[in-house]
């Protein structure tokens, strides 16, 4: 093997890449089979053949390259699969579990190969896994009442021997030390472990929450057990002792549950959920470059032993001499399981099957949905580069010298450039889009814990989790969503007895949904609880000096918006969950940072609806350019309602000096940017300019401008330090002619000129 690898390592690299792609596809097929079996469906023969081809292809290529352990492992898996596809064995849950474990092990072996160009030193126990596969083959054929075929290795012993263990200088068997293992693990492998571990923890959390409602669902128990087992195995490979030990203890209990020796009761599920929190903290430490240490691990292990009663419940079966002898005999048989047929296939394929196997692997690649993980930093750089390209395109398309040529060929070229740049921008934006399902799924745990803590019954209904948003948007809405849901569960949903007195079901309902509306994503939280108390809010606002007596008859929309004021709370008592008024103002601040807005609607006694309206992306926006004196401003096109010239008959004078125009029975406050930013001190009648009317939610504002310059794509950038903090401006953009355009912050400007 070493000669081949030194001469042509490209063969091994191609083999690793093609095998990993095939294994990823196989994992999806296996999970699909598992779901189908759980639903009582039939096994799709095409799926079995697809998995068989993957293992067969890896076996043949591994044999050609000389990867003995990999060749033997895939051979045993292939044998079990062959029995299934020939009808000798009925596919069961245990078979899918072992195939998934084989797939995981092969992927780890591929990573080891990629780092070392050799399978020597791989720390996994391949022999133990092969033995379990052989036992499944023997057990399944015996259960079917069919004669177990004699292995060819029993008819004619293979002359092939296992490679002798390496010896150290003193004659002791060489072992993989911690230092050696650390040297084998690259930063990329650690990063992949963090990603995989987080996905496993998320999956377990969702399954445990579902298991709480359906404690007899064995499929959920099996799923949690398998994920916990996978995390334990991965942590063991990386030598993360704390994670591995805690997983092992939890896995022990889960094994008792799935074997019927213990019940998954509410308090035990709660403890396992706490275990996941401890594991998640260790993963977060690892992601931050710290050791994967679990704080208070010893206490946690003791707690698990006490609450789960593991010491009393775990009763290992006594090992009789007969059983020990049988197991030893089985191990000896398994060590001889390499058949002459396999040896012949492995040796002969070196000359005759090298190219066909590689070609077959490449053909299978065409049927795989190619998905790769890309570092977020690279995506950010790509988006920044696309932004610069948009600016460059704008410089070209708006170049006055080119426009003056009035040549048809130039116009066509510019049009073609604009089309391609727009497609590139849309593609780069799509690459950063992430479905909301991951964030939404985590909210199930939040509601579940809040309901338990407050002795309430709450159903969280999730819709639209497949809706995608920009990654930067996702980071900004996570905290607001937590605060809104926490308020719904703590203040909104009543206790079961109180709900029943009102004629409501004892179980409260919170619906979390998402949908795309135009250029926005709407994330809606709606509950059927108490609703907001208008009088209570107004009274509290009056006490805090937020409103005056004359404003007590303000519209409901403005009343509801008072809850977003810093420190505002109508809670009768402060709990460790909410009540201090430090949460809802965070909602508005975070949402407005990404140019979004929050809308609230409520009916007392029936419930509350909170709508987060956020843009699809925060990097590039279509804006309308306006000139005020010599300064260029921009407003997102989606926020513009209309533009018009105002006549004297439309102007309404207010006592406090605020200018207002009346359009179709609606009062719109006017803001003069000339005065706000001290661009000019010359008074100018409204009729001499153009009023651009914008709308943010139910609130509107009009801007008096000198000229509308047209629509343009703008790359939003933070204000340069030398400009300082400009009132009512959220960012800037560089125009095609090199000028800086100021992007107006509508949410804050509306607050400055609100009309009661």
Tell me, which fold does domain 1-154+336-370 have in CATH? 1.20.120
pLDDT tens readout for residues 711-752: 888 888 878 777 777 888 888 888 877 788 998 888 778 877
Provide the pLDDT confidence category of residue 356 given band limits of 50, 70 and 90: very low
First to last CA, the chain: 82
pLDDT of 270 strictly over 60? yes
Q: What is the CATH number of domain 620-752?
A: 2.40.50.180
User: What is the separation of C-alpha 252 from the centre of its chain, rounded to a whole number of angstroms?
Assistant: 29
d(CA 500, CA 494): 9
pLDDT tens readout for residues 608-622: 999 998 877 666 788
pLDDT of 164 strictly over 50? no
Closest by CA position to 633, among listed 518, 507, 499, 731: 731
CA distances from 89 to 60, 97, 138, 142 (A): 24, 15, 10, 9
Give residue 182's pLDDT: 54
d(CA 753, CA 659): 9
Give residue 517's pLDDT: 81
On the CB side of 644, CA atoms within 13 Å amount to 16
State mean pLDDT over 81-99.
87
d(CA 191, CA 238): 12
Give residue 306's pLDDT: 59
Give residue 388's pLDDT: 84
Most confident of 100-104, 117-121, 336-340, 377-381: 100-104
pLDDT of 409 strictly over 90? no
pLDDT tens readout for residues 639-691: 888 888 887 777 877 656 778 888 887 888 888 888 888 887 677 788 778 89
Give residue 751's pLDDT: 75
Most confident of 91-95, 122-126, 183-187, 505-509: 505-509
Mode of pairing for the β-strands spanning 597-603 and 699-705? unpaired
Closest by CA position to 300, among listed 280, 268, 278, 285: 278
405 versus 344: the higher-pLDDT residue is 405
With 0-12 / 13-18 / 19 or more C-beta atoms within 10 angstroms meaning exposed / middle / buried, residue 332 is: exposed
Provide the pLDDT confidence category of residue 153 given band limits of 50, 70 and 90: very low
3-class DSSP state of 206: helix
Give residue 509's pLDDT: 94
Mode of pairing for the β-strands spanning 740-744 and 631-636? parallel
Give residue 430's pLDDT: 82
> What's the whole-model pTM score?
0.54
CATH architecture assignment, domain 434-615:
2-Layer Sandwich (3.30)
Largest CA distance in the chain: 106
Provide the pLDDT confidence category of residue 625 given band limits of 50, 70 and 90: very high
Provide the pLDDT confidence category of residue 185 given band limits of 50, 70 and 90: low
Mean pLDDT score across all residues of the chain: 77
pLDDT of 549 strictly over 80? yes
On the CB side of 92, CA atoms within 13 Å amount to 12
Provide the pLDDT confidence category of residue 520 given band limits of 50, 70 and 90: confident
State whether CATH 1.10.3470 applies to domain 376-432.
no
- The residues facing 427 across adjacent strands are none
Q: Give ∠ CA 41-46-49 in degrees, rounded to 5.
A: 120
pLDDT tens readout for residues 554-605: 888 888 888 888 777 766 554 544 544 445 777 888 887 787 888 899 999 8
Domains of the chain: which residue ranges?
1-154+336-370, 179-332, 376-432, 434-615, 620-752
Give residue 626's pLDDT: 93
Give residue 506's pLDDT: 92
CA distances from 680 to 419, 631, 691 (A): 40, 11, 17
217 versus 321: the higher-pLDDT residue is 217
Give residue 633's pLDDT: 94
Most confident of 240-249, 289-298, 321-330, 702-711: 702-711
Q: Give ∠ CA 76-78-84 in degrees, rounded to 5.
A: 110
475 versus 708: the higher-pLDDT residue is 708
The owner of tokens 């987080």 is 198
Give residue 222's pLDDT: 87
Give residue 364's pLDDT: 65
742: number of Cβ within 10 Å: 22
The percentage of the chain sitting over the pLDDT mark of 90, rounded to a whole number, equals 11
The owner of tokens 């704080």 is 295
Closest by CA position to 559, among listed 600, 609, 608, 607: 600
- The residues facing 621 across adjacent strands are 714
- Of 79-88, 184-193, 273-282, minimum mean pLDDT range: 184-193
State mean pLDDT over 334-349.
37
Provide the pLDDT confidence category of residue 390 given band limits of 50, 70 and 90: confident
pLDDT tens readout for residues 7-30: 456 678 778 888 888 888 888 888
State mean pLDDT over 522-527.
94
Matching fold, domains 1-154+336-370 and 179-332: yes
Give residue 332's pLDDT: 43
748: number of Cβ within 10 Å: 13
pLDDT of 335 strictly over 70? no
Give residue 366's pLDDT: 36
d(CA 627, CA 680): 13
Give residue 104's pLDDT: 85
pLDDT tens readout for residues 440-451: 888 887 888 888
Give residue 319's pLDDT: 41
Give residue 303's pLDDT: 65
Given a contact cutoff of 8 angstroms between Cβ atoms, the answer to whether 66 and 4 are in contact is yes
Token couple for 736: 């095609």
Give residue 149's pLDDT: 37
Q: What is the CATH number of domain 179-332?
A: 1.20.120.160
């Amino acid at each position: 093997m070493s000669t081949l690898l030194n001469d042509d390592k490209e063969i091994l690299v191609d083999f690793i890449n093609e095998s990993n792609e095939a294994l990823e596809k196989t994992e999806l097929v296996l999970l699909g089979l598992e779901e189908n079996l759980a639903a009582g469906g039939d096994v799709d023969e095409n799926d079995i053949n697809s998995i068989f081809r993957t293992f067969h292809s890896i076996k043949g290529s591994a044999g050609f390259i000389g990867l003995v352990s990999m060749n033997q492992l895939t051979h045993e898996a292939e044998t079990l699969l062959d029995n299934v596809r020939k009808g000798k064995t009925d596919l069961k849950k245990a078979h899918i579990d072992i195939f998934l474990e084989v797939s995981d092990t092969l992927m780890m072996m591929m990573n080891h190969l990629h780092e070392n160009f050799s399978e020597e030193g791989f720390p996994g126990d391949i022999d133990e896994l092969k033995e379990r596969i052989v036992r499944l083959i023997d057990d399944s054929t015996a259960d079917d009442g069919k004669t177990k075929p004699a292995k060819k290795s029993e008819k004619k012993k293979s002359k092939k021997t296992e490679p002798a263990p390496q010896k150290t200088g003193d004659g002791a068997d060489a072992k993989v030390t911690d230092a050696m293992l650390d040297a084998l693990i690259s930063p990329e492998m650690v990063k992949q472990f963090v990603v995989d571990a987080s996905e496993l923890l998320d999956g377990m959390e969702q399954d445990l929450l579902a298991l709480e409602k359906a404690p007899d669902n064995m499929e959920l128990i099996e799923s949690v057990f398998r994920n916990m087992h996978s995390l334990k195995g991965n942590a063991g490979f990386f030598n993360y002792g704390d994670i591995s030990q805690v997983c092992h203890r939890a896995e022990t209990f889960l094994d008792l549950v799935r074997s019927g020796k213990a019940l998954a009761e509410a308090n035990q599920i709660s403890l396992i959920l706490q275990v996941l929190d401890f594991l998640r903290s260790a993963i977060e430490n690892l992601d931050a470059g710290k050791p994967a240490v679990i704080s208070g691990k010893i206490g946690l292990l003791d707690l698990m032993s006490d609450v789960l009663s593991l010491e009393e419940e775990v009763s290992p079966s006594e090992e009789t001499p007969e059983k020990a002898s049988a197991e030893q005999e089985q191990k000896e048989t398994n060590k001889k399981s390499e058949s002459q047929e396999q040896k012949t296939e492995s040796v002969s394929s070196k000359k005759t099957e090298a190219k066909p196997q590689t070609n077959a692997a490449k053909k299978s690649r065409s049927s795989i949905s190619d998905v790769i993980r890309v570092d977020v930093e690279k995506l950010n750089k790509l988006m920044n580069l696309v932004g610069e390209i948009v600016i460059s395109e704008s410089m070209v398309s708006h170049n006055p010298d080119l426009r003056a040529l009035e040549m048809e060929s130039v116009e066509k070229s510019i049009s073609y450039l604009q089309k391609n740049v727009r497609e590139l921008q849309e593609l780069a934006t799509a690459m950063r889009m992430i479905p909301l399902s991951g964030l939404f799924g985590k909210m199930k745990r939040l509601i579940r814990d809040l309901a338990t803590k407050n002795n309430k019954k709450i159903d969280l209904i999730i819709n639209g989790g497949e809706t995608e948003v920009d990654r930067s948007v996702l980071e900004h809405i996570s905290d607001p969503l937590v605060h809104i849901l926490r308020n719904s569960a703590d203040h909104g949903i009543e206790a079961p007895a109180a709900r029943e007195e009102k004629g409501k079901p004892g179980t409260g309902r919170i619906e979390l949904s998402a949908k795309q509306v135009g250029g926005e994503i709407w994330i809606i939280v709606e509950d059927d609880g108490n609703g907001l108390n208008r009088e209570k809010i107004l009274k509290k606002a009056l006490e805090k000096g937020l409103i005056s007596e004359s404003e007590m008859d303000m519209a409901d929309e403005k009343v509801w918006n008072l809850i977003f004021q810093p420190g505002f709370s109508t809670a009768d008592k402060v709990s460790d969950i909410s009540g201090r008024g430090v949460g809802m103002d965070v909602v508005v601040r975070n949402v407005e940072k990404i140019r979004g807005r929050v809308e609230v609607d409520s009916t007392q006694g029936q419930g509350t609806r909170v709508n987060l309206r956020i843009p699809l992306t925060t990097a590039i926006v279509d804006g309308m350019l306006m000139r005020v004196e010599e300064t260029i401003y921009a407003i997102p096109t989606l926020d513009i309602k209309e533009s018009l010239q105002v006549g004297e008959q439309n102007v309404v004078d207010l006592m406090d000096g605020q200018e207002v125009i009346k359009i179709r029975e609606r009062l719109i406050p006017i803001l003069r940017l000339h005065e706000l930013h001290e661009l000019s001190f010359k008074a100018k009648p409204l009729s001499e300019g153009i009023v651009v009317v914008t709308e943010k939610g139910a609130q509107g504002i009009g801007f008096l401008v000198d000229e509308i310059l047209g629509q343009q794509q703008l790359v939003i950038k933070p204000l340069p330090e030398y400009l300082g903090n400009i009132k009512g401006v959220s960012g800037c953009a560089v125009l095609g002619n090199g000028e800086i355009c100021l992007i107006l912050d509508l949410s804050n400007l509306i607050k400055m000129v609100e009309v009661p």
